[in-house]
Amino acid sequence: MLRLQTFTPEDFDQLIQWSGDEAFLLQWSGPQFQYPLSIDQLETYTQGANNKDSSDRLIYKVVDESINETVGHLCLSLDRDNRSGRIGKVLLGANHQGKGYGEQMIREALRIGFDDYHLHRISLGVFDFNHSAIRCYEKSGFVQEGLIRDARRYKDTFWNLIEMSILEEEWKRMSKAE
């Protein structure tokens, strides 16, 4: 069983190890982090986060409780006034990919967002070449809303970003069906 636990400074080194090269870091983190990922950047990232009552972002490590091991990372940003959230910085450690963790961690983030924080809508963005992530998000109930062409520049290329979302009614229907 996967559980999302608060990401703390003790988790920084592992995330830095997983962060990969410049292109990979940009793919999973967007423009917030600069290559190479550093402790200073992670301290800034976590500053003001994880207060369940007031923070605008909840940052998690993803733990497989059956083996007591951290397998991934994600962030759930909150717009409390609009009952809206956004999943970002989704990352599975390289040796944990292809094991079904992706869908489990996304569903747990959705459960937290919809059930614990009573959100109405949760969105995310994924680059159009990340086919496995797109499949994972669709299996988790996300619907494609649109394409932002040439949304991110990496060296001499531009990457298209697919915007996806799921609404609370869709989550409730899906949860009842399981």
- Going by pLDDT thresholds of 50, 70 and 90, the confidence category of residue 73 is very high
Question: Which tens digit of pLDDT belongs to each residue from 137-175?
Answer: 999 999 999 999 999 999 999 999 999 999 999 999 998
Distances (CA, A) of 8 to 27, 98, 101: 22, 26, 21
Please say if the pLDDT value at position 178 is more than 90: no
- Range 57-82 average pLDDT: 97
Domain extents in the chain: 2-177
Strands 84-92 and 2-6: unpaired
pLDDT reported for residue 59: 98
Per-residue pLDDT at 124 exceeds 90: yes
pLDDT of 177 reads 85
The domain defined by 2-177 folds into Aminopeptidase (3.40.630)
Q: Can you give the length of the chain in residues?
A: 178
